[in-house]
Amino acid sequence: MNISEDTLIDYINGELPPSEMEALEKRLSSDPDLRAELEELRATTNLIEQAFAEEKNLVPAASPAKTATIPASPIRLLPRGLRWTLHPIMLGGLAACVVFLSVPVLIWIYQNPGKTRSTGDSSPETQRMFPPPPAPLKPSADEETVVLFDETNHLDAMAKSEAPAGFATMGSPSPSSISVLSLGLLSAEGDSSSSTLAGTRINSSLKDVGDAIAVVTREFIMEQENEGEQPEFRTDAFDSITPNPFKRVEQHPLSTFSIDVDTASYSVVREHLNRWKFPPSGAVRTEELINYFPYDYPKPESKETPFKVIADITDAPWQQEHRLVRVGIQGYEIPWENRPASNLVFLIDSSGSMNGPNRLPLVKKALDHLITRLDERDRVAVVTYSGSSRVVLPPTTGNNRETIRFAVNSLQSGGSTQGSAGILEAYRLAKEGFLPDGNNRVILCTDGDFNLGVTNRSELVDLIQKEAKSGVFISIMGFGMGNYKDGTLEELSNKGNGNYAYIDTDREAIKVFSEQIAGTLITIAKDVKIQVEFNPTLVDAYRLIGYENRLLAPEDFNDDKKDAGEIGAGARVTALYEVIPAGADTEAADLPSVDPLKYQKPAQPTESSDELLTVKIRYKDPNDTKSRLIEHPLRNQVVPFEKTDDNLRLAVSAAGFGILLRSESGSGSLDWTMLSEIVHSIQSKDEGGHRADLIQLIEKASMIRYNKPQQAHD
């Protein structure tokens, strides 16, 4: 038996008779080719369904011009004590219904245009908007009298050809043309239900109609109010995050994680709050909020030890008895003038989704900041991709700024997104011009939606992991929100020896490509891992704030094959632990417990020490495969929170911001007011205005949270 594509289509559509369905399903279970064909058809069907579902976003619900030009007077005609403002776009429908109900009324109005005009809206704009009333109105065909059209009468023909003679007198008036009339009628009558004009006929049906209108109006008002906040039509994708719980030191003496210098999450949060939306909790990576800020840490003296480690301990402001431990790492700063030569490939997504002011045009502006900083040492190539990839500019020396700018500015958005082809092309170019002692890097600017070629996330990750082995680093710059794939981009940057920023404004572009350009472009160490060993005599339990998707197993620390984060020149990394000292009340922490072991004794503390913990850092030089180790113990000398330095308080503010944005429980008395107090207590100079920015965002977030409690659990 040969099974046709048509049968499969009917099967997907659920239209196959039961007997045929059974036969087909039997066949499917034994025929992989047929299954594959079915899957392909299903995929196509899904594509079509998705396209139709999203179509709504391409056309707004109402014409703005109409909304703007007709002042809608509040009209009460609705039952149930509801008072709805009749939206102008409703008037057409209302008018139409009046036509069906009571033809004589409308004819009366039409015969007395002067009267309706005088009571209705008569601004010149309104009159310009609407054509004069058409020839005498007649009731339109009702569904009982409707003619069903056959093929020969199909829709386009209807639109283009002369109207068939039979319809000429049947057509309903143009909705917009009778809007004027209905406005006149309604203004004249107000909410009086005992209309002398309309008589008893309209009177008796008005309630039914009012009902329907109430409903339809409510729909439209809701649609207007909810413009842009219908989650089902936004396709931004964020991975979910479960906050790290407290862990008992006796069971987990080691805490191991990979560093993360990315800052994307902070800009993503800002982008949401600036639209007065609470960010989805998956978009809030607390460590990225903490690491967004340029803390002023002591700098390493020489290139040989590329890090300086600091660690200190203070009271947790939100929980009595708890402490906060800060671990800070400052990378060696290479003055931009003394940097190694760079081999850069700009890989720019110019697909249709990059259309819009915060997308491709912002990419051009952002790269312009970078181009300004390059010189004859550097080489730049530009690759773009949409439906396919294309080299816009072959490798060119960095001092040809005009040429590079021209190439970038010539890009236009359109088409689909074959990201994988672009990635391969960019890495190919980077490898061709590989500088053994230099900085080889692909800079990818995209919204993260890869919908052609390799579209599967895990395959993309494999692809970029393979390419990263060549020694080419990647910087991923996210742009645009609406169909943003944060999870994909974050993972690609993690696995591809990369860093990741989200650029929402020109200000952010300046931070990434100008203020911190060395940190963005020049890697001073790779596979940087942190392991903290806690002293069980002094610490009962701890939790790492943030870094949820960067956690490593304790044994990964010494395993040089395990990939971890990179750190750029002059960059800094901060991690905060909330610590419960030995003997403190652990009730608030909701600590899980295990039964005592039957066959062995718990490990005994070796010797009494006043060290609270030891921070160990492993890293590799960018071109090395063997890791090096730095150790840094922290003695148990608690600084009261009021006396801590501004850097620490800023880091705590950022952490608290993340905790509150994610509505995490278990952080004691932390609330927006406390957070605001902490951040306002910082006195030092606010270089770059980043702290002012944070204060503003905290205010916005608390306002949204307090005003709209239903959005609290986004």
Partner 1 sequence: MNHDSEEKSSGWVDDAVRRHGPPLTCYARSIVHRSDCASDCVQDTFIRMAQRPRKPDDILRPWLFRVCRNRCLDWLRKEKRMKPLGTHEAILKDDTSTPDKAAEVSDSTRAVLALIDELSPTQREVMRLKYQAGMSYQEIATVTGRSVNHIGVILHESMQALRQSIRRQSDLLGAPLR
Q: Which of residues 528-587 bind partner 1 (CB under 8 A)?
A: none
- Chain positions 320 to 379 lying near partner 1, rule: CB under 8 A, are 350-353, 355-357, 359
Which residue, among 670, 636, 634, has the nearest Cα to 652 in the 3D structure? 670
Dig out the tokens for 498 from the structure: 């990369």
Q: Is 143 in the site for partner 1 (CB under 8 A)?
A: yes
Dmax over CA atoms of the chain, in Å, equals 104
Which residues have a Cβ under 8 Å from the Cβ of 75 and sit 6 or more positions away?
A: 85, 86, 186, 190, 191
CA distance 433 to 418: 24
- In this structure, which amino acid lies at residue 89? I
Q: Does 18 bind partner 1 (CB under 8 A)?
A: no
Interstrand relation of 254-258 and 247-248 (parallel, antiparallel or unpaired) = unpaired
Nearer to partner 1 by C-beta: 415 or 688?
A: 415
Task: Answer yes or no whether residue 60 interacts with partner 1 by CB under 8 A.
Answer: yes
457 part of the interface to partner 1, by CB under 8 A: no
Q: If binding is defined by CB under 8 A, does position 395 make contact with partner 1?
A: no
Q: In what order do the strands lie in the sheet with 379-385?
A: 389-397, 379-385, 342-349, 439-446, 473-478, 498-502
Stretch that binds partner 1, among 145-153, 305-313, 394-402, 701-709 (CB under 8 A): 145-153
CB 300, CB 332: distance < 8 Å: yes
Burial class (CB in 10 A: 0-12, 13-18, 19+), 666: middle
Minimum distance, C-beta of residue 536 to partner 1, in the bound complex (Å): 52
Residue 106 interacting with partner 1 (CB under 8 A)? no
Count Cβ atoms below 10 Å from residue 665 Cβ, excluding itself: 8
- What residues from 157 to 176 belong to the interface with partner 1 (CB under 8 A)? 158-159, 162-163, 167-168, 170-176
Among 38, 75, 90, 408, binds partner 1 (CB under 8 A): 90
Query: Among residues 83, 207, 635, 708, which is the contact residue for partner 1, using CB under 8 A?
Result: 207
Binding pattern for the stretch 460-499 against partner 1, x by CB under 8 A and - elsewhere = --------------------x-xx----------------
Q: Is 211 in the site for partner 1 (CB under 8 A)?
A: yes
CB of 196: closest distance to partner 1 in angstroms?
Answer: 21
Residue of 156, 225, 595, 607 interacting with partner 1 (CB under 8 A): 156
Q: What angle do CA 492, 658, 511 make, to 5 degrees?
A: 60
Name which position in 416, 505, 681, 702 contacts partner 1 (CB under 8 A).
416
The nearest distance, CB 584 to partner 1, in angstroms, is 49
- The only residue of 75, 77, 185, 213 in contact with partner 1, by rule CB under 8 A: 213
Q: Give the Å distances, CA to CA, from 351 to 360, 416, 500, 529.
A: 9, 5, 20, 37
Instruction: Give the interface segment with partner 1, choosing from 96-104, 254-262, 430-438, 598-606 (CB under 8 A).
Output: 96-104
- Residue 449 lies near partner 1 (rule: CB under 8 A): yes
Closest CA to 358 of 475, 461, 480: 480
Interaction between residue 594 and partner 1 (CB under 8 A): no
CA distances from 448 to 263, 444, 445, 558, 604 (A): 16, 10, 9, 33, 50
Choose between 49 and 432: whose C-beta lies nearer to partner 1: 49
Output the smallest distance, CB 241 to partner 1, in A.
Answer: 24
Give yes or no for a contact between 431 and 472, defined as CB atoms under 8 angstroms apart: yes
Distance CA 634, CA 648 (A): 16
What distance in Å separates the CA atoms of residue 334 and residue 585, rounded to the nearest whole number? 46
Evaluated on CA atoms 15, 233, 287, 561, the torsion sign reads positive
Residue 505 interacts with partner 1 (CB under 8 A)? no
Q: Which of 1, 155, 165, 594 binds partner 1 (CB under 8 A)?
A: 155
110 binds partner 1 (CB under 8 A): no
Does residue 150 touch partner 1 according to CB under 8 A?
Answer: yes
* Binding status of residue 51 toward partner 1 by CB under 8 A: yes
Is 231 an interacting residue with respect to partner 1 (CB under 8 A)? no
